[in-house]
Amino acid sequence: MKELFVANHPVGVESRVEEVIQLLKDQQQENPLLLGIWGMGGSGKTTIAKAVYNKIFREFEGRCFLLNIREVWDQDNGILHLQQQLLSAIYKTTKIKIENTESGKSILERRLGQKRILLVLDDVDKLEQLNSLAASQPCPKEEFASLANEVASYCERLPLALEKKLKISFDGLSDDRNREIFLDVAFFFIGMDKNDVTDILNGCGHSAEIGINVLMERCLITVDTKGKLGMHGLLRDMGREIIRESLPMKPEERSRLWNSDEVLNVLSKDMVRISSMFSNSYNNNDIL
Q: Cβ(122)–Cβ(145) under 8 Å?
A: no
Q: Minimum distance from CB of 41 to Mg ion (Å)?
A: 7
Residue of 33, 34, 93, 92 lying closest to 62 (CA atoms)? 92
Q: How far is the CB of 167 from ligand ADP (least distance, A)?
A: 12
**Residues contacting ligand ADP: total by CB under 6 A:** 18
Beta bridge partners of 63: 118
Give the span between the Cα atoms of 252 and 262, in whole angstroms. Answer: 8
Which string of x and - marks every residue 154-183 that binds ligand ADP (by CB under 6 A)? ----x-x-x--x------------------
Q: Which of residues 106-125 bind Mg ion (CB under 5 A)?
A: 123
d(CA 157, CA 241): 21
**Bridge partners for 124 per DSSP:** none
What is the Cα–Cα distance from 159 to 172, expressed in whole angstroms?
A: 22
Please list every residue from 124 through 183 that binds Mg ion, using CB under 5 A.
Answer: none
Q: Which of 13, 21, 130, 242 binds ligand ADP (CB under 6 A)?
A: 13
Which helix (H) or strand (E) covers residue 199, if one does?
helix 194-203
Shortest distance, CB of residue 155 to ligand ADP, whole angstroms? 8
Name residues contacting ligand ADP, limited to 30-59 (CB under 6 A).
Answer: 39, 41-47
Q: Binding Mg ion by CB under 5 A: which of 43, 46, 84, 132?
A: 46
d(CA 245, CA 241) in angstroms, rounded, equals 6
CB-wise, 66 or 221, nearer to Mg ion? 66
Cβ proximity to ligand ADP, 87 vs 158, nearer residue: 158
Residues in touch with Mg ion (CB under 5 A): 46, 123
